[in-house]
Each structure stands twice: as C-alpha cells, then as structure tokens.
Amino acid sequence: MEFWLVTNNEKVNDAYADKCDVLFVDGTDRDVMKTIRDLVHEGHSLLTHPLSGSLKPGETPFRSVLVDKSKNETVDPFSLDLIETCIQALQKFRVRYEGLSERKLEDFRHVDLSIIESAIPTAMADRTRVVGVDRNGA
Amino acid sequence: MRLELGNIDIKEIRFADKSEIKDGVLYVNQEEVIAQVLEDDLIRDAHLEIAVPGESVRITPVKDVIQPRVKVEGPGGMFPGVISKVDTVGTGKTNVLRGMAVVTCGRIVGFQEGIIDMTGPGAEYTPFSELNNLVLVVEPEDGWKPHDYERAARVAGLKVATYIGELARDLTPDETVVYERANLRESFENYPDLPRVGYVLMLQTQGLLHDTYVYGVDAKQTLTTMISPTEIMDGAIVSGNCVSACDKNTTYHHQNNPVIEDLFKAHGKTLNFVGVIITNENVYLADKMRSSDWSAKLAEYLSLDGVIISQEGFGNPDTDLIMNCKKIEEKGIKTVIITDEYAGQDGKSQSLADADPLADAVITGGNANEVVILPPMERIIGTTDFVDKIAGGHDGSLREDGSIEAELQIITGSTNEMGFNKLSAR
C-alpha cells in the first residue's frame, strides 16, 4: 500500500521521513484536517481514523493520519463522511493547547507518534489493490 | 464453567510489621511491598499511601485501579500471561478482597490520568471513593521511554495486587457467589424459549496509553474472539490504558464488569446469557472493519437474538462502536449500545463522533463535558502538577487555593461505558 503520512508533528516527521512519504503540514491540527479533507475530495481514501485515540479534540496540537495514495475515480463516501464528522467534532471542542510548556508539547508529540506507529506496519504490509485505481494519480 | 468468588470484606487498611488479613483488617508491611516494586530497574522510587472513604484526600494522576484477588482452587493464577502463567483461568475458586483496591498513581507522560477524590462533590462521581484504597505511588527512573515506563507502572500495580490477594488464600469468605455456565448445546437445550443474549466488550487498543492486554497479549494484535465471562473475573483482561479517566476501563472494571454481573443475574430467568465477544478499537480503518465484521459473524454464528455492546473511550472508538452496532443489527440481531457523551458544556452538541439510524437503543454513562468544581483537599496523594494537562483540565483549571475547575472527564470512572458509575437522570 502506498500512502502519505500527513502530520504536523515534527517527531513523526523525524521518525518516518526516510521510511515513507510524509506530507508535513506546518500548521495546527485543524490545518492537518483540512489537508486531509482536500485529499479525500480529490478521490483519496483515509487509512486511519482522523481523531487521535481518545485524546479529546482541542487537547492535543498534533495530528497524524495515513491517506491512501491511490486515487479513486469518484470520492470515497466513507472517507468523506468520516473526515466531515471529525472536523465537526473538532469544532465542537475549544482549543486547549495554546501556551503549553515544551515538556507538555513533547509528551503530546510522543503520544501522537505512538498512535500512528501502531498503524504504519499494517499499512506497509497491506497488499490491497483496488481494480480501476490510477496508481500514478496525484 | 463454574467459578466461585469468595468475597472477603476489607473494612480497614493499616501499615504493620507483618502483612496479613485479620478480622477484616488488611495489615501491610510497606517495605516488603516496595522491595518487590523496586525489583524493576525502571522504577526509581515508590511508596504506599492509604486513602479512606470520607477522608479529605485527592489521588492524582491515577493510572489503574485493581482489585486484589487470589486463585484458591482450579487451574491458573491471577492476571494470567502477565503475572501468572498463561493457563486458562475462570474455573474453581477465587478469593476476592471486597471493599478495597490497589490504585497505581504516578507520572507516565503526565496527562490523561485522572482524579479520585475521597470526599466532596468529586467523590460522588467515582465509585472508587467508596473503597479503602492502597495507593502505590511510583516514580520513574530518568531516561526511559514512556512505553517502557507505562509497562513498568502497569506491572508494578498488578504485582502489588497479587501480593495483597495472596494474603487471602487461606481465609474463609464472608460470602460466596457462584457463576456457572453450561456449554452452548446445553444452554440452548436448557432454555429453548428464552432470548439468546451476548455481550460485545470493546477494548481500547490504539497505542501508548491506549492499550489493553488479554492473557498478556496486546489486544490490538488480535482478531475479535470469544472469552468466558469467568476468565475475565480471574484477571484475564488487564488495562494498560491511561485515557481518558472518565471512560477508560480500569482493571477493576474488567474484574467487576457490571454488564456481565447483570447478565448472570438474568440468565435462565429472562434471557439465556450465551457468551462474551471481545473486540478491539484500532487506529487503522481496515482493522476496524475487519474486527467489526468479525463481531457480527460471531454474533450470527452463536445464533444470538440480542447483543449488548460496551465501548471504551471516545472519538475514534465511536466509529468502532457504530460499525459493531450496525453490522450486528444488519444480521437481524437487536443491539443496545453503552457509551458516554461529549455533548459540550451546555449538553447541546451531538454526543458522539459517529452515528447510525440502526443505533436506536443507547445507554449513556453521562456527559463528560459537564463542568465540575472540586474543592481543595487536605492531602494530595501523587501530584497535581499535571492537572492542567489531564483530559478535561485546562490552563488555569488548578486554582491557587487548590480547587479545580474542570470537566467531568477528569474524574476516574465518572462516565464509565460499562455502566459502572453513579450518574443517572430523572
């Protein structure tokens, strides 16, 4: 499975930049969500859930999501529904992470890394190939 | 399978020169306990404290709550695959120290872990305020990764609970409760006219601070499977989960799962309790699909008429919950889901991050966004350094006088999704 690792977490970028294709977003968790939403609108499917574990929206500034590089001819309805619901969920919670100390930020980076680490080996081992997909797309 | 639980009531905990249980009092030799905990190189320092119901004490950050138990008869030992060998547990006799718990407390990564107040308004939201708590406070050695340290703290709590449970091996229980289940064929023959009901127990499995272990195996690496409810009572499922305080299932919750307890009570009367299906809550979407497909396949294979599904956590697991519910309903099996809500501080927002019209029977553990004010306590066990970081806490939530303004999600077990809590609505 060829995938993008979309993240705004430097620690994830450092750990995976040479192992897979990282799309680093220099911005907030909301910016990551918007990047993912745009990819879904272009026909890509989500491989991981955009809400991170049971960390509450607005609690952690970091977000890492895997997106399938192969492009569907039409928008994947499941991915579209999921990303829209997640963005709504995010908007429901107020941002709590502003002004966090470096030590607290480092903890959040570490947990975000750990959550996405649990999915990357599965994505790398995933041999699913969907007929009709344009592998050179995007 | 037949398991007898012998309840031994613990009315008080005291430190003493010799560890023993006499007349409902647990005497603990602190040095002996701590020596076991410090065998692990990752733990720099540890000590015990006692917290009694009604006392002005705040325990935070809480990692796990564990009920000491000991296997008296039958194969295996407590917490198989972690503390004892992996022999299958769930039959014979087990002694249970009722009215007390071992609470592990200390820094893992500093947030996510909850609060137990032993008195005041916060105490009313957590069932653990009613227990005599032996609190193990652990300090990590510097330089280790949080993963390693989480494991060390998890195992330390289980070790202490096993040590305390062992003291009850030769005691006569105050009360014995028998849990017995026939095999599938016999149960169908015994109760041909009763609805066949199963329980899908969802386990949080998403990475550091989010893990659950079944017979020592990280449940994120398993397929949906079946387990006997009495195996769970013998500690086959332990929590490695630190998120989030209000709706994580501690090891104590697993040992005392109220859904299982109630299904046993109704078994043979109003329903036929057929079995427990355990499934995970992974990050990878294909895993979610596979695991929920498997829940539905097993429910159908067991010829169930109804299923109760309990969730753990919030957000990402809402998708697993709805997938389980929808796929089981589509097999023609009725479901009831147990969840909790993040409906905003005013309670007006949509409660879950996912939904489906087939999820038409829902039990809620409460709104985790509800704001609570916890007055200062005279004694703090652990540290409040992390209160601002705990889910539901925010900068400024720890006030100068020691009181805390935060959302309900800060309190351990307050909106538990097995229904092991005290919130209700009229």
What ipTM does the predicted assembly reach? 0.83
- When CB atoms are compared, the residue of A66, A85, A114 closest to B207 is A114
Mean pLDDT of A70-85: 92
Q: Over the stretch B66-91, which tens digit does the pLDDT of each residue have?
A: 999 999 999 999 999 999 999 999 99
Tell me phi and psi for residue B59, to 5 degrees: -105, 120
Domain ranges of chain A: 3-125
What residues have CB less than 8 Å from A81, skipping those under 6 apart?
A: none
Residues 181-220 of B with CB under 8 A from A: 204, 206-210, 220
Using an 8 Å CB-CB cutoff, list chain B residues near A57: 315
Question: E-strand spans in B248-356?
Answer: 272-281, 306-310, 334-341
Mean pLDDT of B121-144: 94
Is the pLDDT at A136 greater than 60? The verdict is: no
Q: Over the stretch B158-213, which tens digit does the pLDDT of each residue have?
A: 999 999 999 999 999 999 999 998 999 999 999 999 999 999 999 999 877 789 99
* pLDDT reported for residue B390: 56
Is the pLDDT at B112 greater than 60? The verdict is: no
- Please judge whether A49 and B314 are an interchain contact, meaning their C-beta atoms are less than 8 angstroms apart: no
Q: How much of chain B exceeds pLDDT 90, in percent?
A: 78
List B105, B242, B246, B325, catalytic entry? B242
Using an 8 Å CB-CB cutoff, list chain B residues near A49: 283, 285, 288, 316, 319
Is the pLDDT at B423 greater than 80? The verdict is: no
* pLDDT reported for residue A111: 87
Using an 8 Å CB-CB cutoff, list chain A residues near B286: 47, 122, 126, 128
d(CA B232, CA B219): 14
- Does residue B426 or residue B135 have the better pLDDT? B135
- When CB atoms are compared, the residue of A47, A96, A111 closest to B209 is A111
Task: Find the chain A residues whose C-beta atoms sit closer than 8 A to any C-beta of B.
Answer: 46-49, 51-57, 59, 66, 82, 85-86, 88-89, 92-93, 96, 98-100, 103-104, 107-108, 110-111, 114-119, 122-123, 126, 128
Mean pLDDT of B300-304: 97
Specify the range with the lowest mean pLDDT, choosing from A14-18, B29-33, B271-275, B408-412. B408-412
* pLDDT reported for residue A53: 72
Active site residue B242: yes
Shortest Cα–Cα distance, B110 to chain A (Å) = 7
d(CA B354, CA B321): 9
- Does residue B256 or residue B354 have the better pLDDT? B256
Q: pLDDT grade, residue B220 (50/70/90)? A: very high
* pLDDT reported for residue B389: 54
* pLDDT reported for residue A134: 42
- Please judge whether A110 and B394 are an interchain contact, meaning their C-beta atoms are less than 8 angstroms apart: no
Is the pLDDT at A38 greater than 50? The verdict is: yes
Is the pLDDT at A138 greater than 60? The verdict is: no
Using an 8 Å CB-CB cutoff, list chain A residues near B389: 100, 104, 107
- Please judge whether A53 and B220 are an interchain contact, meaning their C-beta atoms are less than 8 angstroms apart: no
Q: pLDDT grade, residue B310 (50/70/90)? A: very high
* pLDDT reported for residue A133: 42
B289 reaches A (C-beta below 8 A): no
Q: Is B182 exposed, middle or buried (CB count within 10 Å of its CB: 0-12, 13-18, 19+)?
A: middle
CA triplet A48, A50, A53: central angle to 5 degrees?
85
* pLDDT reported for residue A131: 47
Q: pLDDT grade, residue B300 (50/70/90)? A: very high
d(CA B184, CA B200): 17
Name which of A92, A28, A97 is nearest A59 in CA terms: A97
Q: pLDDT grade, residue B94 (50/70/90)? A: very high
Q: Over the stretch B282-294, which tens digit does the pLDDT of each residue have?
A: 999 999 999 999 9
Q: Are B76 and B233 in contact (CB under 8 A)?
A: no
Shortest Cα–Cα distance, B377 to chain A (Å) = 25
* pLDDT reported for residue B426: 65
* pLDDT reported for residue B391: 57
Q: pLDDT grade, residue B116 (50/70/90)? A: very high
Shortest Cα–Cα distance, B220 to chain A (Å) = 8
d(CA B81, CA B37): 18
Q: How many Cβ atoms are within 10 Å of B322's Cβ, its own excluded?
A: 22
* pLDDT reported for residue B331: 98
d(CA B196, CA B217): 29
- Which residues are registered as beta bridge partners of B280? B203
- When CB atoms are compared, the residue of B204, B244, B285 closest to A56 is B244
d(CA B353, CA A54): 11
Q: pLDDT grade, residue A127 (50/70/90)? A: low
- When CB atoms are compared, the residue of A57, A98, A111 closest to B208 is A111
Residues 121-150 of B with CB under 8 A from A: 146-147
d(CA B80, CA A15): 35
- Does residue B209 or residue B94 have the better pLDDT? B94
Judging by DSSP bridges, how do beta strands B196-204 and B272-281 pair with one another?
parallel
Q: Over the stretch A6-31, which tens digit does the pLDDT of each residue have?
A: 999 999 999 999 999 999 999 999 99
d(CA B81, CA B424): 37
d(CA B207, CA B40): 22
Task: Please provide the average confidence, as pLDDT, over all residues in chain B.
Answer: 93
Q: How many Cβ atoms are within 10 Å of B270's Cβ, its own excluded?
A: 10
Mean pLDDT of B140-155: 87
What residues have CB less than 8 Å from B247, skipping those under 6 apart?
A: A54, B311, B312, B313, B314, B340, B365, B368, B409, B415, B416, B417
Segments in B116-233 forming alpha helices (H): 146-166, 184-190, 229-233
Tell me phi and psi for residue B245, to 5 degrees: -50, -45
- When CB atoms are compared, the residue of A52, A100, A111 closest to B316 is A52
